[in-house]
């Protein structure tokens, strides 16, 4: 946990305010020194309230009773061009990045025991459909005691998404979205009088894949 600085005691309300997902993301961003950029998803659970700060196309989902009851939205400048955070100092000035003030702020106030929270980068969500995520989660919940679910589910989700990412045939969320963008661009060019041919996307998307799983317990 993150402790408040200062020499005097802080009120519980001030402590809670300093530990929201957005405040923790802002603190990490201000301390970043490495040149580069990244998307970000940070969630924090306090009592039954989950706060989240999301930048870009990293996301999280909440699964309850075999249903995905919440999926965080993505933030994109254009297809395959997500919002990204970069260190306040040290990055090339001609490149435009976002900051925590651009984050999508989310609060879910009715989290329940047994809820499964899955965070992932776009390399994860680009390769598994919601039905795949639910199926794998369901299988792990049936086999594993609750204390083993986070580790076992993380491993199972990583393995399946990596398999899909290496495929060059079949469908995936990325292939579906990429094909939609190709069709949209072809239609635009044809309206402009150009004769174009196009190929649809197939298979998965090789990419970095990161998954974090948490289960709400008493």
pLDDT per residue over 193-207, tens digit each?
A: 998 888 889 999 999
CA–CA distance, 46 with 210 (Å, rounded to integer): 24
Radius of gyration for the chain, computed over Cα atoms and rounded to the nearest angstrom = 20
Residue 52 in this model has a pLDDT that exceeds 60: yes
Under DSSP, the state recorded for 174 is H
What is the per-residue pLDDT for 91?
A: 63
Q: Contact at 8 Å (CB) between 98 and 85?
A: yes
Residue 8 has pLDDT above 70, yes or no: no
Strands 81-82 and 85-86, sheet pairing? unpaired
Taking the chain, what is the end-to-end CA distance rounded to the nearest angstrom? 18
**pLDDT at 164 (0 to 100):** 98
Q: What is the pLDDT of residue 177?
A: 93
pLDDT tens digit sequence for 151-190: 999 999 999 999 999 999 999 999 999 999 999 888 988 8
Element (DSSP H or E) covering residue 86 = strand 85-86
Q: What would the pLDDT profile of 106-161 be if each residue is shown by its tens digit?
A: 999 999 999 999 999 999 999 999 999 999 999 999 999 999 999 999 999 999 99
Q: What is the pLDDT of residue 33?
A: 84
Q: Indicate whether 16 pLDDT > 70.
A: no
pLDDT at position 196 is: 84
Placement of tokens 């039905």 in the chain: 131
pTM for this prediction: 0.86
pLDDT of 29 reads 92
Average of per-residue pLDDT values in the chain: 89
pLDDT at 94 over 60: no
Q: What pLDDT was estimated at residue 56?
A: 97
Q: pLDDT grade, residue 32 (50/70/90)? A: confident
On whether the CB atoms of residues 128 and 164 are closer than 8 A, the answer is yes
Q: Are 114 and 64 in contact (CB under 8 A)?
A: yes
Mean pLDDT value across residues 18-30: 88
């Amino acid at each position: 946990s993150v402790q408040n600085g200062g020499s005097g005691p802080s009120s519980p309300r001030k402590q809670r305010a300093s530990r929201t997902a957005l405040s923790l993301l802002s603190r990490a961003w201000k301390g970043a020194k490495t040149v580069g950029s990244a998307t970000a998803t940070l969630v924090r659970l306090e009592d039954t309230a989950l706060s989240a700060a999301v930048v870009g196309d990293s996301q999280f989902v909440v699964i309850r009773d075999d249903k995905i009851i919440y999926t965080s939205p993505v933030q994109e400048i254009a297809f395959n061009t997500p919002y990204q955070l970069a260190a306040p100092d040290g990055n090339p000035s001609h490149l435009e990045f976002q900051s925590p003030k651009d984050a999508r702020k989310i609060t879910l106030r009715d989290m329940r025991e047994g809820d499964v929270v899955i965070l992932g980068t776009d390399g994860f969500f680009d390769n598994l459909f919601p039905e795949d995520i639910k199926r794998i989660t369901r299988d792990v919940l049936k086999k594993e005691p609750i204390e083993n679910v986070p580790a076992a589910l993380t491993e199972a989700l990583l393995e399946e998404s990596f398999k899909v990412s290496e495929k060059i045939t079949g469908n995936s969320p990325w292939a579906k979205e990429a094909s939609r963008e190709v069709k949209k661009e072809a239609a635009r060019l044809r309206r402009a009088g150009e004769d174009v041919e196009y190929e649809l996307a197939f298979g998965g998307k090789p990419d970095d894949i990161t998954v974090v799983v948490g289960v709400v317990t008493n």
